[in-house]
Homo-oligomer: A and B are copies of this chain.
Amino acid sequence: MNIALDMMGGDFAPDEAVKGAMAYLSEASDPAHLLLIGDETRVQALIQQYPLKPGYFTIIHASQVIDMHEHPTKALKEKQHSSIAIGFHLLATGKADAFISAGNTGAMLVGALYSIKPIEGISRPTIGAYMPRENGKLGLLLDAGINADCKPENLNQFAILGSLFVKHVWNIDNPSVALLNIGEEEGKGNLLAQATFPLLKQNELIHFIGNIEGRDIFLDKADVIVCEGFTGNIILKMAESIFDIIKRRNIHDSYFDRFEFEQYGGVPVLGVNKPVIIGHGISHGPSFKNMILLAIKIIETELIEKIRKSFKAQ
């Protein structure tokens, strides 16, 4: 198993990516092979400082970096020697089994959509956001911002993708799915929610429990919450800002500590043909380690194959 890791992505690259790789390799009993994509000189130098278990990694030189604020499509096209472009090339050619980056999110999405491509039958791949609950569990909210305008059918597909992820990767049997709405009864909400409800209700691939409201997001009401990416992104950013405020005000609370989304590593792009994990720009070592573990879990559980089968059966 080969996991490609973009060493140049994120605010603290490549140092934190190296630290994450070191932590993973030293803790895993039978580690996967890591393909470390980045500036060879810099990565080599860092490995002196943070030694990696020998024999379990290969450095793949990338002479370019796509910066956080570059235009995704343009940058990917023009910077063929960037770590992100190389990562997708390795993934597309089968040399890597998963690709992880905390770099330019847009470029990661464009790469996932255009080089790895959506699974047949899926019109809109999605990324989610983890919503912590007081009982220690997590909910998966999707879409978290890549699909700002959605059709009912998109939300219906997000529901299936989210359910399969939560079931296989989080080991939750028969995960519950709710539609985020502004009212509990069927028929409530905006036109999109009204039209989505019957689709979810009829969808035999999911366990739909109905509408939930904004007040229910942090309660353990549904394992999977679906909404369009505009609302989803506002929710995610708002939750992140709550964590910032909690920290700024010096509040120490074990629940609100779990609003530090960095700790979860990253989120998978669900609905594309290979495992692609996107990390937060501020990712540190533990996040990179967690993203490697998530990529391995997705590969080992054959999530992508299971998604493919679900959509083929429809």
Contacts and interface: CB of A to CB of B under 8 A. Distances in A.
Interface of A: 134, 145, 148-149, 180, 182, 189-191, 193, 213-219, 227-231, 233-238, 240-242, 244-245, 248-249, 251, 253, 255-256
B237 A245 contact: no
Nearest to A242: B242
A214 B237 contact: yes
Contacts of A248: 134
Nearest to A232: B182
11 contacts: A134-B248, A145-B182, A148-B191, A190-B230, A216-B241, A218-B241, A234-B235, A249-B253, A249-B255, A249-B256, A251-B253
B148 A233 contact: no
A217 B238 contact: yes
A235 B236 CA distance: 11
B228 A214 contact: no
A85 to B, nearest CB: 24
Given A134-B245, A190-B230, A230-B189, A238 B253 contact: no
B182 A233 contact: yes
Main DSSP-derived SS at the A contact region: helix
A189 B242 CA distance: 22
In the A-B complex, list the 6 residue pairs whose CB atoms are closest, starting with the nearest. Answer: A214-B237, A214-B234, A148-B190, A214-B238, A215-B241, A182-B233
For A229, A241, A242, A253, the residue with the greatest tally of chain B CB atoms inside 10 Å of its CB is A242
B234 A182 contact: yes
Nearest to A144: B182
A234 B231 contact: yes
Between A213, A231, A245, A248, the greatest number of chain B beta carbons within 10 A of the residue's beta carbon is seen for: A231
Contacts of A214: 233-238, 240-241
Contacts of A240: 214-215
Contacts of A228: 190
B182 A148 contact: yes
Contact of A245 (B145, B227, B234, B255): B255
